[in-house]
Amino acid sequence: MNFDHLQKTDPTLFWYIQEERERQETSLELIPSECIASLSTIEALGSPFTNKYSEGYVGKRYYWWNEVVDKVEQIAIDRAKELFWVEHVNVQPYSGSPANFAVYNAICEPGDTTMGLSLVEGGHLTHGHAVSATGKFFNAIQYGLNAEGYLDMEQVEKLALERKPKLIWCGTTAYSRAVDFEKFGEIADKIGAYLVADISHISGLVATGAHQDPVPYVHLMTTTTHKTLRGPRGGMIMVTKKGLDFDLELAKKIDKSVFPGLQWGPHNHQTLAIAAALWEALKPEFQQMSHQIVKNAKALAKRLIEHGFDLAAGGTDNHLILMGVGKWRGQFMQDALDVAGITMNKNTIPNEPCSPFHPSGVRMGTPIMTMRGMGEAQMLQVADWMKRVFDNVSGFEYSEDKQERKRILQEFTKHIQEDIELQTIRKEVAELCKGFPIYQ
């Protein structure tokens, strides 16, 4: 990738690009919600389509000279329909959260009852959490997990029958097992609720058969385009045949909710990049990669268990692993791994004994490592590094006393900045990364 013009006009920003590219190339990204967009997608995102205003939809714009924009948006829609086997697609949402709110706006009135997975149990803020607008404007009830760490479908059914939500969300951001969309469909049908699958994390897996397909069981699907779908940052809303059979006006409601209900001008360069990513997702190579993501996650999980780590729900069926590392230690593990060149995020675990701000778990995934060409052998190596890092910082533990906690954090920060073992692992990680460059 060349940024010749930026280098001349704004060398500071050019340097930041080089700095970030170097960081990505020499470290291991295990954040499960991140991907490596292809060079074709990045080129599309930086195209002159960013110059054009085009409120409205294909053939129905409020500005002139959108004939080419119409072609781009239509091909993005057609490719999404082909990839996911759905009846209607809106590709204009700026991202996943706006897409989710557009669904609420299309279906619900303020105060309507909705239902989604609790944030601390692995759900998303936009599925009804109190700090989100989706919890503020709607009567949001939350379901959780059972004692084994799986979605508690008995609780889902009980709450649905008792509270009669108008809208039910089935989707997760920190859940490592397969979602039983069929059971969710049965429950929603019993009470006549709209059922929406938020597949943002698993859309690439769903599209390639690496995860159960929600299409036969749900009325709507929402997704980001920048996770396992390996596209630019954006969002889509899809209406299924079941959705149109349930509500003939559903597609029109969705489109009207996105524009003019919540957004005005679509990001045409983003739409072009989504179309480019969808074209790649239709290729056999993408299908192979998606299945390898799951294989890699299973291999990583197995090795972590062998090292004595406690995994939520005992393992994984998808791209994601949620792992407990002991009371208060999520922050320590995250920060120490970062020094060692391995990036993941602290996260709550089922039955979290601590607070969401200082959780006892970490969340990781295999999409980016797989997109770089790594396989099961590399996953074993990564797990071994994680064990070494854990052993290195296992003596540190948060205190509930504020002053004591401050002292411990200062000691910990000094330790990870100076520790030779963490620096050794950092060099080993960088050496591995040389063999799997992000961009050739």
342: β partners? 28
| Active-site residue (options: 21, 34, 43, 53) | 53
Catalytic one among 198, 213, 255, 317? 198
**Beta strands 235-239; 310-311: pairing state:** unpaired
DSSP-derived pairing of the beta strands 194-198 and 220-224: parallel
SS3 263: coil
CA-CA distance, 374 to 39, in Å (whole number)?
A: 19
172 catalytic residue (yes or no): no
Which distant-in-sequence residues (6+ apart) come within 8 Å of 378 by Cβ?
296, 369, 432, 436
Q: Which of 55, 180, 247, 352 does the annotation list as catalytic?
A: 55
Of the residues 134, 222, 224, 366, only one is catalytic, namely 224
Distance between start and end Cα atoms, the chain: 10
Check 227, 230, 298, 372 and give the catalytic one. 227
Please indicate whether residue 198 is annotated as part of the active site: yes
Catalytic residue, chosen from 166, 233, 298, 329, is 233
Active-site residue flag, 224 = yes
Q: Which residue type does 247 have?
A: D
Please state, in angstroms and as integers, the Cα–Cα distance from residue 34 to each residue in 229, 255, 325, 430, following that order.
10, 27, 22, 19
Reduced to 3 states, what is the DSSP secondary structure of residue 158?
helix
HSE at residue 210, side-chain half, CA atoms within 13 A, is 29
What is residue 152's DSSP assignment? -
299-302 contacts, C-beta under 8 A, 24 or more apart: 299/376, 299/379, 299/380, 300/364, 300/366, 300/379, 300/380, 300/382, 300/383, 301/176
| Locus of tokens 């679509």 | 266
Catalytic residue numbers? 53, 55, 198, 224, 227, 233
